[in-house]
């Protein structure tokens, strides 16, 4: 008893130590990995922030490069370009020189658009009159040039800029492309310092989608002052059909509330950030911590946010975690094993010895196990020996009972069958009426059924106890199959079943012919029971190398796949309802399996519901 308590105590202490150290290790690993991952998040955030800055910087450089072309100055130095003339339809009129310069200007703008992701480009004078406009590289005809651009949100700020300065307009819906854009404008400045017009182009807002695209977590750009999501990795820009001219911000952009209420609470902190300043925060969503890093962008005071759930923080480092935990547990386990080695050796050795003795036991002839031990293992062995005595006693009683009951059942059955046969003999008992003959047939049929059931029970018992006798003799397989076919043809007539013998071998084998016939008879009568009127049954024996392959094939109702694995168990019935159409004890296939395996073969079934079944078994040509 002391050994058991010591072993339990040491095992509990070891388990507690491993659990405690594993917990501490996990906590430290989690903190270390989280800190490192947050630094990586900041690095990625800065990388994407640089993409936004570079996009705006590139756009500004391109627009300043575009207006540096002398063609703009030359065009607006013409007096007629600064004093617009209109016809009766209020269509701007151009002189030949204007047309010549305008064409050159439009070619230049078209080339400019081919180098940059630009939706629309135009040149607008101080009255709001367009002098040139290209939409998706298509030049607008003169009659389509607008004269009321002074209401555009970028109109006045454009003229407030000086030479070399660029104004970036807050997103709006373009009347030319019918989608959300932000615009870049810069004034066209003549040598005298006057600004007769400005150059303007629009860039689609959806260019931000590629910048916030991310494999793990979520990245988005928000307007911290208005509380809108401008771009989101989890929700690309809406389709153009959902956009219309004059659409309000709140009709298109989603509120930050749709991410989480906690994000709205961070807007105040985001507004206080300096340009390019970044910060970390977190909140809980569905019980899981969400890590957030964010940075203010230089344009529109928008904020770029990167969010990552805690489980994704650890996902890339799970292998390192497993290695660390395994190493820690191994170190502690080695120490614990060293402490408990002596005790466990004393326990394990007699247990293994007991297991080996139990494995040697013959289920049909159980004998006591002998263990040289004075501890708890000896108590277990004694308990097993007591159980063996009880099992042997029960088996003996069961065998005696089975022998007695079958004998008592068979004793009256013999005269019942004999008298039922005699009653049908006109010479002995005289002629019976049809009604009497029917009753006698029923008595004879059910008596035979009962005799078969008794025989099945005896066979099953003999197989369980390994007491079934086998008579090994040489015989011709082909001759046996022909005899079987001839003897059973009459059994097919009531249902008009097509009976086929496909045997193609005359091999001589050494086995128990009667037992093989018993297996085949059982399978064939099962097939007769389940085959419909005018059905088909095929039997065959095939040479299969060292074995003979037998099969019985039918086109009956088939067997459901989930039922096939239990077919060869004792007393198994596919249909267990009280109203089942097919009778039987459920022992037939179990006996077939026992006989085939005792003869050294294998048995199995292949079936498809609604198409029939094929039962196979093999028998060695020579039993080793």
Q: What is the pLDDT of residue 326?
A: 62
Average pLDDT over residues 50-60: 90
User: Between these two residues, 355 and 250, which has the higher pLDDT value?
Assistant: 250
Tell me which of 139-148, 157-166, 212-221, 257-266 is least confident: 257-266
Most confident of 12-21, 156-165, 240-249, 337-346: 156-165
525 in the same domain as 553: yes
431 in the same domain as 483: no
Residue 93, pLDDT > 90, answer: yes
User: What is the per-residue DSSP string for 245-290?
Assistant: TT--HHHHSPBGGGT-HHHHHTHHHHHHPPTT-EEEEEEEETTEEE
Q: What is the pLDDT of residue 497?
A: 93
Residue 366 located in a structural domain:
no
Cα 172 to Cα 464: distance, rounded to the nearest angstrom: 88
Average pLDDT over residues 167-190: 91
Residue 329 located in a structural domain:
no
Q: Two tokens at 480?
A: 């046996």
Q: What is the pLDDT of residue 549?
A: 95
166 in the same domain as 293: no
Cα 457 to Cα 338: distance, rounded to the nearest angstrom: 57
Structural domains in the chain (count): 4
Q: What is the pLDDT of residue 4?
A: 54
Q: How many CB atoms lie within 10 A of CB 290?
A: 20
Cα 283 to Cα 291: distance, rounded to the nearest angstrom: 7
121 in the same domain as 181: yes
Please say which residue of 277, 295, 313 terminates a domain: 313
259 in the same domain as 166: no
Q: What is the pLDDT of residue 363?
A: 62
Find the CATH number of the domain harbouring 85: 3.30.450.20
Do 297 and 278 form a contact (C-beta atoms < 8 A)? Answer: no
Find the CATH number of the domain harbouring 616: 3.30.565.10
Q: What is the pLDDT of residue 577?
A: 47
Q: What is the pLDDT of residue 543?
A: 92
Average pLDDT over residues 182-209: 92
**Band of residue 382 on the pLDDT scale cut at 50, 70, 90:** confident
Q: Two tokens at 284?
A: 């809980």
Average pLDDT over residues 550-571: 86
The residues pairing with 304 across neighbouring beta strands, listed in sequence order, are: 221, 295
Residue 83 located in a structural domain:
yes
DSSP letter at 83 equals: S
175 in the same domain as 107: yes
Q: What percent helix, strand, coil does the chain show, rounded to 5?
A: 50, 20, 30
Do 121 and 200 form a contact (C-beta atoms < 8 A)? Answer: yes
Residue 3, pLDDT > 50, answer: no
Average pLDDT over residues 139-163: 92
Average pLDDT over residues 248-254: 87
Cα 522 to Cα 550: distance, rounded to the nearest angstrom: 13
Residue 30 located in a structural domain:
no
224 in the same domain as 197: no
Average pLDDT over residues 525-550: 92
Residue 340 located in a structural domain:
no
Percent of the chain with pLDDT over 70: 75
Average pLDDT, the chain: 82
DSSP E strand boundaries for 157-226: 167-168, 172-173, 180-188, 197-204, 218-223
**Band of residue 107 on the pLDDT scale cut at 50, 70, 90:** very high
264 in the same domain as 187: no
Tell me which of 67-81, 443-457, 462-476, 581-595 is least confident: 443-457
Do 580 and 511 form a contact (C-beta atoms < 8 A)? Answer: no
Sign of the dihedral through C-alpha 182, 186, 187, 188? negative
576 in the same domain as 442: no
Instruction: Supply the Cα-derived Rg of the chain in whole angstroms.
Output: 48
Q: What is the pLDDT of residue 413?
A: 63
Residue 570, pLDDT > 80, answer: no
Task: Give the residue from 284, 329, 280 showing the smallest Cα distance to 311.
Answer: 284
Percent of the chain with pLDDT over 90: 38
121 in the same domain as 83: yes
Residues spanned by the domain of 272: 213-313
Please say which residue of 160, 186, 207 terminates a domain: 207
**Band of residue 342 on the pLDDT scale cut at 50, 70, 90:** low
Residue 175, pLDDT > 90, answer: no
156 in the same domain as 85: yes
Q: Two tokens at 138?
A: 């298509």
Residue 457 located in a structural domain:
no
203 in the same domain as 219: no
**Band of residue 579 on the pLDDT scale cut at 50, 70, 90:** very low
Residue 615, pLDDT > 90, answer: yes
Please say which residue of 424, 452, 480 terminates a domain: 452
Residue 490 located in a structural domain:
yes
Q: What is the pLDDT of residue 2?
A: 47
Average pLDDT over residues 248-267: 87
Residue 135 located in a structural domain:
yes
């Amino acid at each position: 008893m002391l050994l058991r308590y010591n072993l339990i105590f040491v095992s509990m202490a070891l388990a507690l130590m491993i659990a405690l150290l594993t917990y501490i290790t996990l906590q430290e690993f989690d903190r270390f990995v989280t800190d490192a991952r947050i630094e990586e998040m900041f690095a990625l955030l800065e990388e994407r922030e640089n993409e936004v800055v570079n996009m705006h910087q590139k756009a500004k450089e391109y627009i300043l490069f575009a207006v540096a072309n002398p063609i703009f100055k030359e065009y607006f130095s013409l007096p007629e370009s600064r004093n617009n003339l209109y016809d009766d339809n209020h269509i701007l009129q151009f002189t030949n020189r204007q047309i010549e310069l305008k064409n050159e200007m439009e070619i230049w703008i078209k080339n400019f658009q081919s180098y940059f992701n630009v939706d629309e480009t135009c040149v607008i004078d101080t009255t709001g009159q367009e002098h040139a406009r290209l939409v998706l590289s298509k030049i607008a005809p003169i009659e389509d040039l607008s004269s009321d651009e002074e209401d555009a949100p970028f109109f006045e700020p454009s003229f407030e800029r000086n030479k070399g300065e660029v104004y970036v307009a807050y997103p709006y819906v373009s009347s030319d492309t019918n989608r959300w854009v932000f615009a870049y404008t810069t004034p066209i400045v003549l040598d005298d310092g006057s600004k007769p017009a400005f150059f303007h182009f629009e860039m689609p807002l959806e260019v931000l989608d590629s910048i916030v695209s991310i494999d793990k977590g979520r990245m988005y750009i928000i307007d911290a002052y208005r509380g809108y999501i401008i771009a989101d990795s989890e929700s690309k820009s809406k389709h153009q059909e959902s956009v219309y001219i004059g659409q309000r911000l709140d009709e298109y952009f989603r509120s930050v509330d749709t991410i989480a209420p906690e994000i709205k609470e961070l807007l105040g902190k985001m507004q206080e950030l300096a340009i390019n300043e970044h910060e970390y925060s977190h909140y809980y969503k569905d019980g899981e911590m969400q890590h957030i890093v964010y940075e203010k962008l230089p344009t529109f005071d928008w904020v770029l946010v990167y969010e990552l759930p805690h489980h994704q923080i650890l996902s890339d480092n799970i292998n390192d975690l497993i290695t660390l935990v395994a190493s820690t547990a191994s170190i502690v386990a080695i120490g614990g094993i060293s402490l408990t080695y002596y005790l466990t050796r004393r326990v394990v050795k007699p247990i293994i010895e007991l297991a080996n003795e139990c494995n040697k036991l013959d289920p049909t002839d159980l004998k006591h196990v002998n263990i040289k031990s004075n501890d708890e293992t000896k108590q277990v062995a004694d308990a097993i020996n007591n159980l063996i005595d009880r099992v042997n006693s029960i088996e003996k009683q069961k065998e005696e009972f089975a022998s007695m009951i079958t004998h008592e059942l068979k004793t009256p059955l013999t005269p019942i069958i004999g008298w039922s046969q005699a009653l049908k003999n006109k010479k002995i008992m005289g002629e019976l009426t049809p009604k009497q003959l029917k009753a006698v047939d029923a008595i004879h049929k059910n008596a035979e059924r009962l005799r078969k059931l008794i025989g099945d029970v005896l066979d099953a018992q003999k197989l369980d106890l390994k007491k079934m006798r086998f008579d090994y003799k040489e015989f011709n397989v082909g001759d046996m199959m022909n005899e079987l076919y001839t003897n059973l043809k009459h059994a097919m007539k009531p249902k008009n079943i097509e009976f086929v013998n496909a045997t193609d071998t005359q091999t001589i084998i050494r086995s128990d012919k009667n037992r093989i016939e018993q297996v085949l008879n059982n399978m064939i009568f099962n097939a007769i029971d389940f085959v419909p009127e005018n059905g088909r049954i095929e039997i065959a024996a095939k040479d299969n190398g060292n074995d003979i392959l037998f099969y019985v094939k039918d086109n009956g109702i088939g067997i459901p796949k989930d039922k096939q694995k239990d077919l060869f168990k004792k007393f198994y019935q596919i249909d267990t309802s009280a109203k089942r159409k097919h009778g039987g004890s459920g022992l037939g296939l179990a006996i077939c399996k026992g006989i085939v395996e005792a003869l050294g073969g294998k048995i199995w079934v292949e079936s498809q519901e609604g198409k029939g079944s094929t039962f196979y078994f093999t028998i060695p040509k020579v039993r080793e």
